[in-house]
Amino acid sequence: MEVEDGAELCFPQLNTSCRKPTFPESDVLFLHIVLYFVSVLTVALNLLIIISISYFRQLHTNTNTLLLSLAVSDFLVGLVLMPGEILRQTGCWFLGDLMCFCYNYVSFIVTSTSIGHMVLISVDRYVAICDPLHYPTRVTERKVKFCVCLCWLSSVFYCSVIVQDDLTEPGRYNSCYGQCVFVISYIAGIVDVVVTFIAPVTVIIVLYMRVFVVAVSQARAMRSHITAVTQHRSMTVTKMKSELKAARTLGVLVALFLTCFCPYYCACLAKENLGNASFASFVLYLFYCNSCMNPLVYALFYPWFRKTFKLIVTLQIRQSGSCEAKIM
């Protein structure tokens, strides 16, 4: 009986060891297959986005720079956060307290960076649709790259402040050895909800409501002038259609993000018990699954992604001058 009890521990040689999670073996196997499949799919799809936008020069646009940086954060979700969460929730944490801290720190950085990118995308579409004449001067390549770098650096700094208590003593909140938990103070929790939920979601919703109103009015104006005969007007209408399509696509992206993102913070605001392992895992997996959905949105709405996917998979990008290929 003693041997049997020891076998149930993560570290049988330690009295302070956690017990292994008691899930039916078939359920654990099925859960691992599904979650690791989503993780691999997330990594593969976002890697395709990163290669496509980085390699093909025609895709070097300001909006795509934001999508590229977002794909990097989504790639890290699939590569680091999903496997780490699977290990933490369905097994014992064998990597030690320091790696537990690093995992939680990286998850905070990646999460807050993704939120920041959604705000930047909303601002980009707002300027493109609501002030198109000044878009080329207000949204320049240099400004976009600066904002992307600022987003990552501010996330690193902000998350350093949030996790500073755990940094001084990694594993201080673990009740036993083989566990990986992270706890922040009540004040820090309130600040985090405001900074990473209430403020960015408010900005996103307000900007996209404005974009929606302007887009509807512009669509009506295009329909009323669709018979314009001058080439200049034709080019203007084509350009505006392209901007409106981009706004719709990125609107879907933002809508999916809010759908996957809101449950966790809504539960926090409602003071739900996130200590419940099943509920906490569900809202976290839902949020992480958004990183897999983003490339699927590109594949559905962007013909250039389907073209670059074919060129990459068939290794045609190895041909000389393939980076100059006409994608759009």
Domain boundaries, the chain: 26-324
For residue 326, the model assigns a pLDDT of: 80
What is the value of pTM for the model shown?
0.84
For residue 242, the model assigns a pLDDT of: 59
What is the band of 6 on the pLDDT scale with cuts at 50, 70, 90? very low
**More confident call, 160 vs 10:** 160
Residues 171-185 have a mean pLDDT of 79
pLDDT at residue 5 above 70?
no
For residue 49, the model assigns a pLDDT of: 92
Q: What type of residue sits at position 179?
A: Q
**More confident call, 236 vs 278:** 278
For residue 15, the model assigns a pLDDT of: 76
pLDDT at residue 280 above 80?
no
pLDDT at residue 133 above 60?
yes
Average pLDDT value for the chain: 80
**More confident call, 91 vs 164:** 164
Residues 236-258 have a mean pLDDT of 67
pLDDT by residue (tens digit) across 113-130? 999 998 998 899 889 888
**More confident call, 252 vs 203:** 203
pLDDT at residue 4 above 50?
no
For residue 229, the model assigns a pLDDT of: 45
For 26-324, the fitting CATH number among 3.40.50.10470, 1.20.1070.10, 2.40.50.100, 3.40.190.10 is 1.20.1070.10
pLDDT by residue (tens digit) across 134-147? 888 999 999 999 99
pLDDT at residue 240 above 80?
no
pLDDT at residue 245 above 70?
no
Q: Is-contact 177 17, C-beta < 8 A?
A: yes
pLDDT by residue (tens digit) across 57-107? 999 999 899 999 999 999 999 999 998 888 887 677 888 888 888 998 999
pLDDT by residue (tens digit) across 16-73? 778 877 666 666 677 778 888 999 999 999 999 999 999 999 999 998 999 999 999 9
Residues 233-253 have a mean pLDDT of 61
pLDDT at residue 268 above 80?
no
